[in-house]
Amino acid sequence: MSEKPLISAVIIFLNEEKFIQEAIDSVFAQTYDNWELLLVDDGSTDQSAQIAQRCAEQYPEKVRYIEHPNHANRGMSASRNLGVRRAKGKYISYLDGDDVWLPNKLEEQLDILNSQPEAVMVFGPLQLWYSWAGNPEDVERERLYGVDRTGVHPYSDTLVKAPKLLSLMLRDEEFIPSR
């Protein structure tokens, strides 16, 4: 029987009440089922914190709600680091409160890491979409994010072995890029 290591999915969010439930649902829809979900609130003032807390209360064996002291807004890097510090998984994967994973994301990425023992990180293609009305500045935003070039953002669809991630990223919050 093969090992099914725990994967920690870390969702960071700030005022994502329109999207966070769909992000949470995409983790629950994974074909790989040995995961924990850490919902890291970066000081939300909308209803997203209540949505996350309700999920953690409903599924305490799978989901934890985490926030900074005094419900402070500390930024994306500090929030990711807080999630990493609390993660119990052998592997860690991130998504933001407005991201959605395809159902086989964790399973496929874990298969790649298992088949390539020297690898410590794997990421895949990412499709971006916006709920905008086609303003010119929105098109410029897509160009700046590189969607028209590669469509790959290695920090949004990544699975990393936890010890390597800790040694690389927890040293300095500036190391973790944020959009």
Q: What is the CATH number of the domain that holds 163?
A: 3.90.550.10
Give pLDDT, residue 149.
43
**What percentage of residues in the chain have a pLDDT greater than 70?**
70
Half-sphere exposure of residue 134, counting CA atoms within 13 Å on the CB side? 0
Output the pTM of the full model. Answer: 0.79
Give pLDDT, residue 159.
73
Asked whether the predicted pLDDT for residue 147 surpasses 70, the reply is no
* 137 within domain boundaries: no
* 119 within domain boundaries: yes
H or E stretch covering 85 = helix 76-86
Number of domains in the chain: 1
Compare 137 and 106 and report the one with higher pLDDT: 106
* 107 within domain boundaries: yes
Compare 128 and 106 and report the one with higher pLDDT: 106
Q: How far apart are CA 34 and CA 46, in angstroms?
A: 31
Q: What angle do CA 179, 125, 75 make, to 5 degrees?
A: 20
Tokens 């970066």, residue located: 42
Q: Which domain holds residue 37?
A: 7-124+154-169
* 139 within domain boundaries: no
